[in-house]
Amino acid sequence: MVAGATATSAGLLFVALSINRQKVAAPGNEELLRLAKRSFGDYLYALFISLMFLVPAYHAYVFVIPLSCVAFFKAIGLIKAVVRFKANSNETAPVGRLAREFGIQALTFLGVIFVIIEIGQGHVAATYIVVPVISLLLYNATANAWLLLILEGRPETKIAPPSTYNETTLR
């Protein structure tokens, strides 16, 4: 059920972003693009975790390898996002803002790592920890999508004419 709901939500976000692509990708709207990436990433992370539990497995440790792969790619994405955020931040000590921006993502990443370790040691009950992890991911993605919609509708949000876009802007 979670995999289906997450895939549907990610699809709706994708359609909404496609419709407003010019506004989100416009120069000066880095906040909208950051929220869009974070929302979409959280939906996909929750979807991948959920899909793993759809595969029938005779032993719980079968989940360790795929969960480790997903966690590895999440770690790379999280590190890249934090480095990019710190490079673009005008603040001298953005620790509080870093915690607000990436706290839930880091917490869910650590939750998945904990599940991997516990399942690897044979504690099958650790799979129940996946429920709050996915709940936090869905909450964060939905809250960010809501912020994206609110910020996208602001009159002060800049929209550059399409002729000013280049390949880098559209990526």
Q: Tens of pLDDT along 44-76?
A: 888 888 888 777 776 777 788 889 999 999 999
Hey, where are the domains in the chain? Answer: 2-170
pLDDT of residue 21: 73
Contact 24, 36 (CB under 8 A): yes
State the DSSP string of 46-103. Answer: HHHHHHHTTS--SSGGGGHHHHHHHHHHHHHHHHHHHHHHHHH---S-THHHHHHHHH
Q: What is the mean pLDDT of residues 30-45?
A: 82
| Residue 128 CB partners (closer than 8 Å, separation 6+) | none
* Ramachandran area for residue 122 (φ above 0: left; ψ -120 to 50: alpha; else beta): left
Tokens of 25: 């990708």
Q: Please state, in angstroms and rounded to a whole number, the distance separating the CA atoms of residues 57 and 63.
A: 8
**How far apart are the C-alpha atoms of 133 and 31, rounded to whole Å?**
25
CA distance 141 to 38: 7
Q: For residues 6 and 80, give the distance between their C-alpha atoms in angstroms, rounded to a whole number.
A: 24
DSSP state of 26: S
Q: What number is the average pLDDT over the span 28-57? A: 81
Report whether 18 contacts 58 (CB < 8 A).
no
For residues 124 and 118, give the distance between their C-alpha atoms in angstroms, rounded to a whole number.
Answer: 8
Is the model's pLDDT at 102 over the cut of 70?
yes
Residues in the chain: 171
Tokens of 138: 């869905």
What pLDDT does residue 92 have?
61
Q: What is the pTM of this model?
A: 0.74
The mean of the pLDDT values for the chain is 78
